[in-house]
């Protein structure tokens, strides 16, 4: 049975997703920000930059959340340096993941299309 080879970046992605998710949850609570969650983390091959994809429960306030998290990135990195066993913690770059919002819009359009079709019949 062939084994899948795991790269170090995969392990770092998973650990960062867990740790940053905890930090983001605490930050939204402590700084009175709209609730946000970490969707994914992508670390560069050199492990020097980590792109953190987040989503907000209030999509209209997503820019506010991303801006606040970018301001907190250095503090998060400092906290990660103490909690993770890595020689160098990657720089955190926060981006909003709008794929969930797009999916909901498509679903609403599809539901709207089926509603109008059933009215025509």
The reply to whether 69 falls in a domain is yes
- Domain membership flag for residue 3: no
| pTM for the model | 0.77
Q: Let me know if residue 106 belongs to a domain.
A: yes
Of the candidates 54, 42, 43, 34, the residue with the CA atom closest to the CA atom of residue 96: 54
Domain with residue 22: its CATH number is: 3.30.300.20
Alpha-carbon distance of 80 to 114, in angstroms, equals 48
Tell me if 108 is assigned to some domain.
yes
Q: Is position 1 within any domain? A: no
* DSSP class of 60: G
Q: Which residues constitute the domain of residue 16?
A: 8-120
Residue 81 scores a pLDDT above 60: yes
Q: In this model, does residue 5 exceed pLDDT 80? A: no
- Residues 101 and 108: beta-carbon distance below 8 Å: no
Report the percent of the chain where pLDDT is more than 70. 88
Please tell me the total count of domains within the chain: 1
Would you mind telling me the total number of residues written for the chain in this entry? 121
Structural domain contains residue 2: no
Q: 18 or 117, which is more confident? A: 18
Kindly state the average pLDDT of the residues 22-27. 94
Which are the contacts of 37, defined by CB distance < 8 A and separation ≥ 6?
Answer: 21, 24, 25, 54, 55
Average pLDDT, the chain: 86
Sheet of strand 49-56: strand arrangement? 36-43, 49-56, 91-96
């Amino acid at each position: 049975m062939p084994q899948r080879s795991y790269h170090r970046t995969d392990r770092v992605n998973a650990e960062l997703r867990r740790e940053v998710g905890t930090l983001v949850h605490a930050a939204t609570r402590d700084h009175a920000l709209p609730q946000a969650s970490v969707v994914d983390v992508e670390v560069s091959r050199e492990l020097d930059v980590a792109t953190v994809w987040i989503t907000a429960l209030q999509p209209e306030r997503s820019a506010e959340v991303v801006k606040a998290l970018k301001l907190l990135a250095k503090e998060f990195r400092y906290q990660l340096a103490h909690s993770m066993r890595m020689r160098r913690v990657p720089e955190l770059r926060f981006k909003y993941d709008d794929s969930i919002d797009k999916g909901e819009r498509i679903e609403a359009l599809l539901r709207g299309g089926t509603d109008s079709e059933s009215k025509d019949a």
